[in-house]
Amino acid sequence: MLTSDYVPGDSAVHRARPLIKVGLLFVFCTWLFLQEGWLSLSVAGMALAALLAVARIPPRMVFAAVRPALWVLGLIFLAQLFLADWRFAGFVVLRFAVMILAASLLTLTTRTSDLVEAIEGALSQFLPQRSAEAISLALSLCLRFILRVRDIFDEA
């Protein structure tokens, strides 16, 4: 089994099927990216906070999920500050932070092995089994690599 930051639980978020979570994440992030107002960002943030609460994800895990991206978010803020103004820079950075946290909700409430297995099953409906297995293997290796890089980053 791949290592992950999975937080065991029996919430509705934990019990949701992995592909449903992936689909909802895709829809949520696409919708949020297309929105231009603070109201939609606030609603998305509150909905995400409610889901994190339902899943009983500890605040330290929520912060740990976004912490590695803080320096990138800082650079994005500075770039947007240079190109626009502080309000737009804040909006862009907060929108990215909400998207990162939404993706983290997926990984915190779904075992990596379950996610990879579900994606392989879905791909096998449209691709030959061998191709679905190859893509699934590539995905699992990517996830393992990302987790390992994050662990090294945390040690530094």
More confident position, 14 or 126: 14
| 5 pLDDT more than 90 | no
Which of the four pLDDT bands, split at 50, 70 and 90, describes residue 140?
confident
What pLDDT does residue 156 have? 65
| 28 pLDDT more than 90 | yes
What pLDDT does residue 147 have? 64
Task: Write out pLDDT tens, residues 38-77.
Answer: 999 999 999 999 999 999 999 998 888 888 889 999 999 9
Q: Which residue has the tokens 């990517």?
A: 142
Tokens of 136: 């699934």
Q: Are residues 113 and 2 in contact, defined by beta-carbon separation less than 8 angstroms?
A: yes
Q: What does pLDDT average to over the chain?
A: 88
Burial class (CB in 10 A: 0-12, 13-18, 19+), 95: buried
Percent of the chain with pLDDT over 70: 90
CA angle 126, 33, 21 (to 5 degrees): 45
| 1 pLDDT more than 50 | no
Q: Which residue has the tokens 């791909």?
A: 123
Nearest alpha-carbon partner for 28 in 102, 117, 82, 123: 102
Global pTM reads: 0.84
What pLDDT does residue 3 have? 43
List the single range of 84-88, 98-102, 103-107 with lowest mean pLDDT: 103-107
